[in-house]
Amino acid sequence: MEIAETMRALVQKSPGGPPTLVDDVPRPIPGRGELLIRVAAAGVNFADVMQAQGTYGGGPETPYVAGFEAVGEVIDAGPGTATPLGTRVVGTGPGAFAQYMTMPDAGVLQVPEGWPDAAALGMVLNWATALTALRPLGDVRPGSVVLVHAAAGGVGQAAVRLALHHGARVIATASPPKHDTVRALGVKEVLDGSRPDLADAIMRLTGGVDLVLESVGLTTFAASLSVAKPYTGRVVVFGAASGDASLTTHDLVFRYPVQVRGLHIGTFASTVPHLYEEVVAELHALITKGVYPPGNPHVHALADGPQLLQDLEAGRTIGKHALDPWA
């Protein structure tokens, strides 16, 4: 296959603003252990907003091709790889908002047979994050009471489905226009995450929760700590969409004696690969059982990416969104 030397891409030229569409970006070349992917669809995540703002830990220096999650076909590979050319894979790597990108071979998953490409977006980020937060970190079990913030988002919807599958009672938060979306997943108790009495409302419903999935940060973090059961309650933190929140040793000893665990799925996969392999194995089993259905992301043209990122930052999106670099 003849591969073009340049490509269309969204380039982040400076921190703080949206990326810019550029038509003649040099195509990346796969190095050792890397695959070259012809991108079919690129996932859009809140981490992309954080990268654009320069607040994502370990994020690249500008200018850079934006995005890091994609699905597509392997069309070339560097030395030391095992995935055959022509395989459809989903994974992460630098520069996903483009027609071509590279990914580490060790981190890709094959697109399930019979699924359209875009349907697999979220497998290595949204669903793996949700399952890790619930299982190895959250110890969810039948009868657990689980609070899921931002339940209408990509990770949130996956978390709701998984928690219900494992027999948990789910309390969800989302903005009022998104409540019907969350209820359609089977959640009966949905609250506005911005209400000032959030902690009191949750305590009236539950008397305390076993697990909180915290991705909102500043506006919900104190409530999350307040409603987790003392000593046995867990708060798994994997995002801060509303800004960073602080927690002191004094808080943990005297105000919030709970278990707080941080989660970045890439670090989890590389640091404790045996646990990540268990998560991946469970994901495949859930796909086989139909608990994890093919995704149905809202797919946009690449040129719509800057506006989409602004909508995501402002909380105007529901569910999973993706960019088609060839549209």
pLDDT single digits (tens) 178-230: 999 999 999 999 999 999 999 999 999 999 999 999 999 999 999 999 999 99
Report residue 159's pLDDT band, with 50, 70 and 90 as the boundaries. very high
For 241-259, how does the pLDDT look when each residue is reduced to its tens digit (9 = 90+)? 999 999 999 999 999 999 9
Residue 123 — pLDDT band, cuts 50, 70, 90? very high
**What's the fold here for domain 126-267?**
Quinone Oxidoreductase; Chain A, domain 1 (3.90.180)
* Mean pLDDT, residues 157-172 taken together: 98
Q: Can you tell me the distance from the alpha carbon of 58 to that of 127, in angstroms, rounded to the nearest whole number? A: 22
Q: Return the closest-CA partner of residue 155 out of 179, 129, 178.
A: 129
> Which tokens in the block code for residue 55?
């607040």
Q: What does the pLDDT average to over 141-160?
A: 97
Task: Give the distance, in angstroms, between the CA of residue 260 and the centroid of all CA atoms in the same chain.
Answer: 19
CATH dotted code for 6-121+295-324? 3.90.180.10
302-324 mean pLDDT: 94
Asked whether the predicted pLDDT for residue 1 surpasses 70, the reply is no
* Tens digits of residue pLDDT in 37-46: 999 999 999 8
Spatial separation of the C-alpha atoms in residues 143 and 164, rounded to whole Å? 10
State the span(s) of the chain assigned CATH 3.90.180.10. 6-121+295-324, 126-267
Separation CA 99–CA 24 (nearest Å): 11
Residue 282, pLDDT above cutoff 70: yes
What share of the chain has pLDDT > 90, as a percent?
91
Tell me the pLDDT band of 81, cut-offs 50, 70 and 90.
very high
CB burial readout 246-282, b (16+ within 10 A) else e: eeeeeeeeeebebbbeebbbbebbeeeeeebeebbeb
Burial class (CB in 10 A: 0-12, 13-18, 19+), 23: exposed
What does pTM read for this prediction? 0.91
**Region 227-237 average pLDDT:** 98
